C-alpha cells in the first residue's frame, strides 16, 4: 500500500540561479528542453513537473513496516536528523528520507555499479556498461551480501531498502524527479525496487576511484615509448622523507613480535580479539616502501603501449563516482590533542578532495536512537552516501573520525599471453573462466558480451576496440613467449574479492572508544583509508585495509607478466596487527594528507611506490607547530582557517629565481613585477597568483609536457616531433605532426606535488636536458638551460593571460581563471545551453590550488579550471559536540529547483562553516520542518 500523507509539502522551489556527455543523452536533452520550457504542454511542465517531486517535510506520512513513529527534523538547509526507537526503524527512515531528496542520483549510481546505464540512457552507454560488467562490481557485492556480511548488517540493509521502496511505491517518474519526466519521452524506463546489494555495490565505485597507483602504473609503461629509464626515474622521484614527515612518527614494526608497535610499547593497539578482516598471514617478503625502478621488466614495459593507451581511454570514459578516476585524489584530515586546544579536548578536521559533482557525493544527516539500548544502538551524525545506510565520516556521542585516501597499492595490471584456447601460465595453456552478460539498451536491441577471466582477474583488454588488437604491434623481448594471438591486459584488485566494509561502517558508527574503533576499522578492507580518531581525551590513527603481500622483487609499480608464477600475488595480506597505527603521540597531533604512512626504514612491507609527496601534510604540520611553539592554543576556527590556507609551496621555491631573470619586454616585465612582494598566497582576487600559476603551467609544458608521448598529452594539442628521437619535440623543419590523446583533466604533467618534487630535484642542474626546448612560434626563444626556459615560460604566460584576461594586468585575478562549475551528473554535461542553465550552477571564482591545503585542484596540462575540490569540510569539537562545524559542497537536495540544491555552495566557496547540532536541545532549536513517519 502506498504511503499516505496528512499534510502538504513544506518546500517551495528555490531560485534558478562527467566527464563526457553521452551521445544518447543529446536526444534526452532536447526533450528536457521541450519539457521544462513548456514547448509541448505550455506552462504546466515548467511549474507542475518541477514541484511534483519535491519532498514532503512537514506533517505526517504512514509507512507500512515501521514498528513505531519516527521523527524527521530538518534545519534551514534541509539537513535531516532522524529519531527512532529501533535500529530497523532508524535505517528504514534513512532510506525513505534519502530517496525523498536524492533517488534519481541513487538510481543512476546503481545502474553504473551494475553496468546497466544503457537501460536509462541508450546505446551511447553500451561501451561503459561492457567495461563495468567486466569488472563485475554488482556480482562481487552480491557475494559480499550472501557470504561475508553479518546478520545485523543484512538486517539494516533490508530495512534501508524497505524505506526506499516505501517512498517509490505508487509514484510516477515525474513524482520522483524531474529527470524521469524527461526519460519518459524516449523510453518506457521506470525505476525498479531498491535492493540491499544496490547499497553494497556503491562501495565498489568508491573503491575504484580510490584504487591507488593504477594510473601511475599505466603512465610509467606508456612513457617507455619516448623516455629512457633515467628520464622516467626523474619524473617519479623518491618520497622526500627528510623534508616531509610521514603520518606515523612514533611507532615501528617489531620484528621480534611480528607486530607494529608504538615506540616503547604496544599499548593502545586495540586489536585484541578483533579477528581483523584479512585472510592469510605471512612474513615480510615484499621489500621496503620506496620508489621502484622506473620501467620494470622489458616485457611489460615495451609490450603494453597500444594496450594501455586504449585502457586509459576506457577508464577515463567511465562516469565519475567519487573522484577524477584516480587522478588527483587526495584529502586532508588532522587531529589535535586537548593539551594544545582552547577547550582542553581534541579537535578533528577533515576535508576529502573529490571531483565536483551536482549534487555533492556526500549527504549530511543524523541518525539518533531516542534511547540508546540493545534494541536501538545508534546516535551518530555526519556524512554518508545517498543510497547507503549508516554514516561514513562523522561523530557519535563518544568519538569522531575522519578519512583520507591512503594510496596503498591494491591493484596490479598483468600482461597476459593469449591463445584461442586460453592463456599461458607457468608454461601451460589454462582455460579462461567465462560468463555471458546481456546488456539491455533503451530504444535499441540488447547486446551480449562474454567476459573472460584469467587467474589474475578479468581481461580488461576485451572491452576496447584498440585493446582487442593486443600484441599485434607490440615489441617484446626474448623473455616473452611467442606472440601467437597476441597479449591481453588483466586486472588484479582487492575489491573484486568479497569483503566486509559495510560491516565496518555500522561498527564505527557505534564504537565508543579507541579499542572498539580499531576493531571496527579492521573490517574496513576496501578501499584502504587513513583513519584519524578522537574522543574526549585521546587521539589516534590507524591504517586498515586488505593490502596484498607481493612476491619478492615485485613492488606493483609496473604491469607484470602474467605467465610467470613469480609475479602472482601470494594470496597473503598484511595482518591487521602489523599495519601502522599511532595513539596519543607525544607531539600531540596527527596529520594525514596522503603522504607516506611510515618511514621506509621502519617498515618491512611495500605499501605503495606512489605516495603523495607530502606538500599539503607538511604545510598543515607547520601551521600546527607555529601555533603550538608560539605558545598559543588552537580553536575550532583555527582549524577552519588551516583548511583555507592558500599558500603555494612551489611558488616559494620558484619566485625568487623568476625575479632574478632579466626581462627586456616591457609587457612581460610588467607581469614579472606582480611577483615582487607577493606572499605566495593564492587568493581568488590575486593577480600575482594568476601570473605565477600561468608561468608554472608553461614551465611544465616546455620542460616536460612536450616531451611526453602522445598518450599522456592533452587531446587536440599537437606538436612536431622527431619519431626517431627520445628527446621529444623537434624544430620546425620536422614534418611529423603528433597530437595528444588524453582528456584535459587527466593529462600530464598535471602540476601536482609530484611535479613540485621533480622540479625541485632539477633546480640545481642548470643544464639538464629537461630545460632544453626548441624555438617556439613567432619570436618565442629557444631554451638551452633552466633560466632560459623560465624566461620563455614567463613570456608565454604573459601572452596566454593577455588572451584570456586582457592586456591590462590590473584586471587580472586568479579567480577569473580558476573557476568552479557544478554540473548535474547526467543530464547537465552536454547539450543545448538552455538545458545546462536549468540543471547546472556556477561559476564560482575560487582561491586555493593544486597541492595547497585549500586544495581546489586544476590540471596544469589542460588549463586552470577547477577539477576537484574539498568535497565537504568539517571540524569536530570533542569538548562540546554542538560547537562542531560542517559544510557540504552543494546541498541536501538533488532536485534542481529545490531551495537546497546548492544553498551551501556560496558559503563553502567563501570558506564558511555551518553550525552542526547534535544534542536534542540543539537540534530542536535549529529545526525548521518536522515530519512524523507513522506505522
The confidence band for 265, taking pLDDT boundaries of 50, 70 and 90, is: very low
Residue with more model confidence, 473 or 93: 93
Cell numbers standing for residue 742? 588524453
DSSP per-residue letters across 477-490: -TTSPP-TT-EEEE
Host H or E run for residue 423: strand 422-425
Contact 58, 5 (CB under 8 A): no
Phi, psi of 763, rounded to the nearest 5 degrees? -60, -35
Sign of the C-alpha dihedral, residues 231, 232, 235, 241?
negative
**Percent of all residues in the chain with a pLDDT value above 70, rounded to a whole number:** 82
Q: CA–CA distance from 77 to each of 283, 366, 779, 914 (Å)?
A: 52, 14, 56, 9
At which residue does the C-alpha cell 609587457 appear?
A: 667
Q: What is the pLDDT of residue 472?
A: 39
Collapsing DSSP to helix, strand or coil, 208 comes out as helix
Contact 461, 468 (CB under 8 A): yes
Return the beta strands (E) in 322-392 as ranges.
Answer: 330-336, 347-355, 363-369, 379-384
Cell numbers standing for residue 439? 546488456
User: Does residue 278 register a pLDDT over 70?
Assistant: no
Cell numbers standing for residue 154? 543484512
Q: What is the pLDDT of residue 183?
A: 77
pTM, two decimals, is 0.90
User: Does residue 629 register a pLDDT over 50?
Assistant: yes
Contact 707, 670 (CB under 8 A): no
Q: How many helices (H) and strands (E) does the chain have?
A: 28, 33
Cell numbers standing for residue 510? 557505534
Lowest mean pLDDT among 160-169, 277-286, 536-545, 599-608: 277-286
How would you list the strands of the sheet with 457-458, edge to edge? Answer: 433-439, 447-454, 457-458
DSSP per-residue letters across 513-574: SHHHHHHHHTT--SS-EEEEEEESS-EEEE--S--B-PPTT--SSS-EETT-GGGS--S-B-
Nearest Cα neighbor of 18 from 128, 118, 119, 173 is: 128
At which residue does the C-alpha cell 609499480 appear?
A: 557
d(CA 240, CA 251): 19
Contact 193, 165 (CB under 8 A): yes
Task: Read off the pLDDT of residues 485-534 as tens digits, 9 standing for 90 and up.
Answer: 567 889 999 999 999 999 999 999 999 999 999 999 999 999 899 999 99
User: Does residue 316 register a pLDDT over 60?
Assistant: no
614-638: average pLDDT: 97
User: Does residue 6 register a pLDDT over 90?
Assistant: no
Q: What is the pLDDT of residue 776?
A: 79
User: Does residue 555 register a pLDDT over 90?
Assistant: no
Lowest mean pLDDT among 32-46, 342-356, 650-664, 709-723: 32-46
156-173: average pLDDT: 96
User: Does residue 8 register a pLDDT over 50?
Assistant: no
Neighbouring residues of 784: CB distance < 8 A, sequence distance ≥ 6: 767, 771, 772
Host H or E run for residue 422: strand 422-425
Neighbouring residues of 671: CB distance < 8 A, sequence distance ≥ 6: 691, 794, 797, 798, 801, 809
Nearest Cα neighbor of 786 from 765, 756, 808, 811 is: 765
- 491 forms bridges with which residues in the sheet? 413
Residue with more model confidence, 274 or 811: 811
Residue with more model confidence, 188 or 813: 813
User: Does residue 611 register a pLDDT over 60?
Assistant: yes
Neighbouring residues of 185: CB distance < 8 A, sequence distance ≥ 6: 28, 31, 34, 35
At which residue does the C-alpha cell 573490517 appear?
A: 523
Averaged confidence pLDDT in the chain? 86
User: Does residue 765 register a pLDDT over 70?
Assistant: yes
910-933: average pLDDT: 98
Residue with more model confidence, 183 or 482: 183
User: Does residue 659 register a pLDDT over 90?
Assistant: yes
The confidence band for 827, taking pLDDT boundaries of 50, 70 and 90, is: low
Lowest mean pLDDT among 146-160, 253-267, 649-663: 253-267
Lowest mean pLDDT among 159-163, 244-248, 253-257, 730-734: 730-734
Lowest mean pLDDT among 254-258, 416-420, 632-636: 416-420
User: Does residue 854 register a pLDDT over 80?
Assistant: yes
373-398: average pLDDT: 98
The confidence band for 110, taking pLDDT boundaries of 50, 70 and 90, is: very high
d(CA 792, CA 783): 7
Number of neighbours of residue 39 by Cβ within 10 angstroms: 12
The confidence band for 762, taking pLDDT boundaries of 50, 70 and 90, is: very high
Q: What is the pLDDT of residue 826?
A: 67
Contact 798, 808 (CB under 8 A): no
Number of neighbours of residue 442 by Cβ within 10 angstroms: 19
Query: Of the segments 558-572, 709-723, 845-859, which one has the largest average pLDDT value?
Result: 845-859
Q: What is the pLDDT of residue 40?
A: 37
Contact 868, 353 (CB under 8 A): yes
379-401: average pLDDT: 98
Amino acid at each position: 500500500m502506498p504511503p499516505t500523507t496528512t499534510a502538504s509539502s513544506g518546500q517551495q522551489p528555490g531560485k534558478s540561479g562527467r566527464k563526457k556527455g553521452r551521445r544518447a543523452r543529446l536526444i534526452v536533452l532536447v526533450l528536457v528542453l521541450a519539457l521544462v520550457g513548456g514547448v509541448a504542454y505550455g506552462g504546466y511542465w515548467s511549474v507542475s513537473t518541477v514541484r511534483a517531486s519535491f519532498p514532503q517535510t512537514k506533517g505526517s506520512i504512514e509507512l507500512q513496516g515501521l514498528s513505531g513513529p519516527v521523527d524527521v527534523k530538518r534545519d534551514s538547509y534541509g539537513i535531516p536528523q532522524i529519531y527512532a526507537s529501533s535500529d530497523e526503524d532508524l535505517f528504514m527512515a534513512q532510506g525513505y528520507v534519502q530517496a525523498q531528496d536524492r533517488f534519481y542520483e541513487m538510481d543512476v549510481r546503481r545502474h553504473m555499479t551494475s553496468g546497466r546505464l544503457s537501460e536509462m540512457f541508450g546505446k551511447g552507454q553500451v561501451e561503459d556498461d561492457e567495461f563495468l560488467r567486466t569488472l563485475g562490481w554488482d556480482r562481487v557485492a552480491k557475494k559480499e551480501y550472501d557470504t561475508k556480511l553479518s546478520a545485523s548488517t543484512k538486517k539494516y540493509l533490508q530495512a534501508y531498502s524497505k524505506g526506499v521502496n516505501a517512498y517509490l511505491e505508487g509514484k510516477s517518474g515525474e513524482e520522483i524527479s524531474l529527470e524521469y519526466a524527461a526519460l519518459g519521452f524516449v523510453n518506457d524506463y521506470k525505476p525498479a525496487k531498491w535492493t540491499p546489494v544496490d547499497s553494497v555495490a556503491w562501495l565498489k565505485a568508491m573503491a575504484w576511484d580510490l584504487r591507488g597507483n593504477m594510473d601511475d602504473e599505466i603512465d610509467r609503461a606508456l612513457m617507455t615509448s619516448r623516455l629512457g629509464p633515467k628520464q622516467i626515474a626523474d619524473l617519479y622521484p623518491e618520497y622526500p622523507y627528510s623534508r616531509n614527515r610521514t603520518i606515523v612518527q612514533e611507532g615501528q614494526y617489531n620484528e621480534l613480535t611480528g607486530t607494529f608497535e608504538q615506540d616503547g610499547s604496544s599499548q593502545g593497539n586495540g586489536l585484541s580479539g578483533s579477528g581483523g578482516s584479512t585472510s592469510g598471514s605471512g612474513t615480510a617478503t615484499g621489500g621496503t616502501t620506496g620508489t621502484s625502478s622506473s620501467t620494470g621488466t622489458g616485457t611489460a614495459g615495451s609490450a603494453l603501449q597500444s594496450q594501455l593507451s586504449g585502457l586509459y581511454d576506457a577508464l577515463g570514459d567511465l562516469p565519475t563516482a567519487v573522484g577524477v578516476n584516480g587522478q588527483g585524489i587526495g584529502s586532508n584530515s588532522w587531529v589535535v590533542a586537548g593539551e594544545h586546544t582552547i577547550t582542553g579536548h581534541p579537535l578533528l578536521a577533515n576535508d576529502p578532495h573529490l571531483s565536483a559533482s551536482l549534487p555533492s557525493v556526500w549527504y549530511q544527516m543524523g541518525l539518533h536512537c531516542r534511547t540508546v539500548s540493545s534494541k536501538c544502538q545508534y546516535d551518530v551524525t555526519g556524512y554518508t552516501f545517498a543510497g547507503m545506510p549508516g554514516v561514513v565520516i562523522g561523530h557519535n556521542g563518544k568519538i569522531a573520525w575522519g578519512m583520507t585516501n591512503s594510496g596503498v597499492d591494491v591493484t596490479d595490471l598483468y600482461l597476459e599471453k593469449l591463445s584461442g584456447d586460453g592463456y599461458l601460465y607457468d608454461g601451460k595453456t589454462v582455460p579462461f573462466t567465462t560468463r555471458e552478460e546481456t546488456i539491455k539498451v533503451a530504444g535499441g536491441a540488447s547486446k551480449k558480451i562474454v567476459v573472460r577471466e584469467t587467474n589474475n582477474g578479468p581481461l580488461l583488454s576485451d572491452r576496447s576496440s584498440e585493446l582487442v588488437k593486443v600484441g599485434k604491434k607490440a615489441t617484446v623481448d626474448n623473455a616473452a613467449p611467442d606472440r601467437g594471438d597476441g597479449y591481453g591486459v588483466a586486472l588484479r584488485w582487492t575489491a573484486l574479492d568479497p569483503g566486509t566494509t559495510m560491516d565496518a561502517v555500522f561498527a564505527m558508527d557505534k564504537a565508543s572508544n579507541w579499542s572498539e574503533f580499531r576493531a571496527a576499522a579492521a573490517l574496513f578492507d576496501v578501499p584502504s583509508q587513513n583513519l584519524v580518531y578522537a574522543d574526549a581525551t585521546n587521539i589516534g590513527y590507524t591504517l586498515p585495509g586488505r593490502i596484498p603481500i607481493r612476491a619478492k622483487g615485485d613492488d606493483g609499480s609496473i604491469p607484470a607478466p602474467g605467465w610467470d608464477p613469480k609475479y602472482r600475488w601470494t594470496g597473503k595480506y598484511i595482518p591487521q596487527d602489523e599495519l601502522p597505527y599511532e595513539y596519543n603521540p607525544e607531539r600531540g597531533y596527527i596529520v594525514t594528507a596522503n603522504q607516506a604512512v611510515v618511514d621506509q626504514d621502519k617498515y618491512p612491507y611495500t605499501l605503495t611506490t606512489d605516495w603523495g609527496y607530502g606538500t599539503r601534510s607538511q604545510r598543515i604540520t607547520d601551521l600546527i607547530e607555529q601555533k603550538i611553539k608560539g605558545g598559543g592554543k588552537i580553536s575550532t576556527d583555527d582549524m577552519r582557517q588551516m583548511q583555507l590556507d592558500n599558500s603555494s609551496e612551489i611558488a616559494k621555491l620558484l619566485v625568487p629565481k623568476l625575479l632574478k631573470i632579466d626581462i627586456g619586454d616591457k609587457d612581460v616585465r610588467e607581469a614579472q613585477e606582480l611577483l615582487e612582494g607577493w606572499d605566495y598566497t593564492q587568493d581568488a582576487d590575486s593577480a600575482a597568483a594568476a601570473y605565477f600559476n600561468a608561468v608554472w603551467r608553461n614551465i611544465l609544458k616546455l620542460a616536460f609536457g612536450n616531451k611526453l608521448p602522445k598518450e599522456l598529452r592533452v587531446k587536440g594539442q599537437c606538436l612536431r616531433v622527431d619519431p626517431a628521437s627520445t628527446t621529444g619535440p623537434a624544430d620546425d623543419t620536422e614534418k611529423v605532426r603528433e597530437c595528444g590523446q588524453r582528456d584535459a583533466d587527466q593529462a600530464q604533467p598535471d602540476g601536482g606535488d609530484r611535479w613540485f618534487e621533480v622540479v625541485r630535484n632539477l633546480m640545481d642542474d642548470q643544464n639538464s636536458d629537461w630545460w632544453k626546448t626548441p624555438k617556439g612560434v613567432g619570436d618565442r626563444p629557444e631554451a638551452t638551460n633552466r633560466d632560459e626556459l623560465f624566461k620563455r615560460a614567463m613570456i608565454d604566460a604573459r601572452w596566454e593571460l593577455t588572451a584570456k584576461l586582457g592586456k591590462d594586468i590590473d584586471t587580472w585575478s586568479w579567480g577569473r581563471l580558476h573557476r568552479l562549475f557544478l554540473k548535474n551528473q547526467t543530464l547537465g554535461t552536454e547539450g543545448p545551453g538552455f538545458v545546462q542553465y536549468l540543471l547546472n550552477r556556477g561559476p564560482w571564482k575560487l582561491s586555493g590550488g593544486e597541492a595547497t591545503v585549500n586544495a581546489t585542484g586544476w590540471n596544469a596540462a589542460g588549463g586552470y579550471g577547477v577539477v576537484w575540490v574539498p568535497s565537504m569540510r568539517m571540524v569536530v569539537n570533542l569538548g562540546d559536540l554542538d560547537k562542531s562545524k560542517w559544510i557540504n559542497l552543494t546541498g541536501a537536495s538533488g532536485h534542481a529547483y529545490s531551495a537546497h540544491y546548492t544553498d551551501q555552495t556560496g558559503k563553502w566557496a567563501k570558506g564558511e562553516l555551518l553550525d552542526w547540532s547534535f544534542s536534542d536541545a540543539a537540534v530542536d532549536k535549529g529545526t525548521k520542518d518536522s515530519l512524523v513517519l507513522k506505522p
